[in-house]
Structure 1
Amino acid sequence: MEINNFFDATFMVGVAFILLCIFLAKPGWNTLIDKLEAYRKSIMEEFQRADHVLKEARDRLEDAQSVLEQFETKKESFLHHMEQHIDQMKKNFQQDLMNRENWEHARFQTQCQTLLEEWKQDASQRFIKELNHQIIYMLQKDQDQYIQLNNALFQNFLKEYKS
């Protein structure tokens, strides 16, 4: 290609047309790219918020598991202590029965044993019920936050999709 071809009128008109197309299209492309970048940033922020809510939910679940493990440990310790106490009470009652040979003491021991067993069951059930209530409350709260965040994300997506 010689230098004379660059000064050819047809070539110059073609170059001018290409340059004109590039300069006219450039602002539109920049606007489109800017909009896409802003949309990408908003999506990333929404996902970061969703990740944050999910992390909080995981932390709360770990806390609930920790509380449950502590409860199990305390329950086992309490039951062990109560068994020791019951054994001690049995020994004391047996000594009283042997020393006094009194039927009323035996009946009293049976009633105490029954009441203690009922109290243990009732206390355990109340504690588990309260623990379940607290865990359900925390999970419902996290679920409500997740639903709200998901709805907001979906609404933003629909708005962007429609525009």
Structure 2
Amino acid sequence: MSGRLGLAVGSQHYTLGFHNTATLGTIAAAAACARLVHATERQTAVILGIAATQSAGLRAQFGSDVKPLHAGLAAQTAVIATQLTLAGFHGQPDNVLDSFLSTYCAGQQQPEKLISGWGAPWRIISPGLEFKPYPTCGGTHSAADAARALRQEWLQTGNARMY
């Protein structure tokens, strides 16, 4: 779901300063929760609506403790939205995704990409998953690889000096 939302919001969402993990991740996690509890169509719409209205996260927080918090808040919001809905909490179930997309995309949204080619293949298969070898920005991975190679090749206990 998150991959599909990413296609629908396009690059404009990120360019505007939003952190996709926080915004799109909240909606995707809410969809997963709705599926896990076998929510009805209406309940699913309410769950997504509650989650959408709480989804937030700014790229301005990159480099701080807040950035990884975005993923946790997305999951928490999804769980709370599901619990509230199942407890009878009412939200606006109509046009939630349209409203979300228009709000977060500054008119650049492409909602047809949410369902176009659905499951052919699943986004988890193509382009697939990528695992980070280091808990850092992907742009730093080549430097980390180089440092590890240098350590492996050159750094021995006997040839390290302190200056």
TM superposition score normalised by structure 1: 0.24
Q: Which is helix-richer, 1 or 2?
A: 1
Task: Tell which structure's C-alpha radius of gyration is larger.
Answer: 1
TM superposition score normalised by structure 2: 0.24
